[in-house]
Amino acid sequence: MKIGLVPIVAKEVDEDVLNAIEDYIGRFYSNFGFEVEIIPKTSVEDLSFAYNSVRDQFLGRFFLMKAAEIRGIKGISVALGITDADLYEKGMNFIFGLANPYLSSAIISLARLRPEFYSEENEGLLKDRAIKEAMHELGHVFGLEHCSNPRCVMHFSNSIIDTDYKGNAYCKTCLEKLKRSLGWKDDRD
């Protein structure tokens, strides 16, 4: 089984961020039999119809569909799209990410995870935030809902403050749900 990281690029998706996500996701999900691979980059050009010039943002659901399309073409189990484009959904000012378990796909946007978006200077912060959002959206792909524990990676991030506060791991309750969802068997049982 394979999780494919799918860079969907407007200007640039940082290689070091992709590598950090690949490393973290790979170490965690290898426990469930998944390999992680970075798929070759694709451009946002064929998603130009999803661009809203008034908002200067793209409608996120089309990026999710693009990740799902690439998942099918590449024959991978799960696709996690990673874009530098700023995404939104109807009724929301922006989204950090979006997932659909039926499509076995998710998308995260780095645009509002970047420290410079908030006039911050912190080199490692983008990687940390991107890993949290990747873990969060993959959790949704594997059937997890939002968690009430503000330190759990499955806690809903209404703002970057929420993202920074939560950890990059599933709480005990969410981890148990994930294990059940993925049919994980503990050899010690």
- Residue 166 is assigned to a structural domain of this protein: no
**139: domain range?**
2-146
Residues with a known catalytic role:
137
For 86-129, what is each residue's pLDDT tens digit?
A: 999 999 999 999 999 999 999 999 999 999 999 998 889 999 99
Query: How sure is the predictor about 188, in pLDDT bands with cuts at 50, 70 and 90?
Result: very low
CATH number of the CATH domain containing 87? 3.40.390.10
Domain count, the chain: 1
- Residue 18 is assigned to a structural domain of this protein: yes
- Residue 56 is assigned to a structural domain of this protein: yes
Lookup: tokens for 76: 């991978």
Give the pLDDT of residue 28: 97
- Residue 176 is assigned to a structural domain of this protein: no
Give the pLDDT of residue 189: 44
Q: Above pLDDT 90, what percent of the chain? A: 94
The strand pair at 51-52 and 35-38 is best described as unpaired
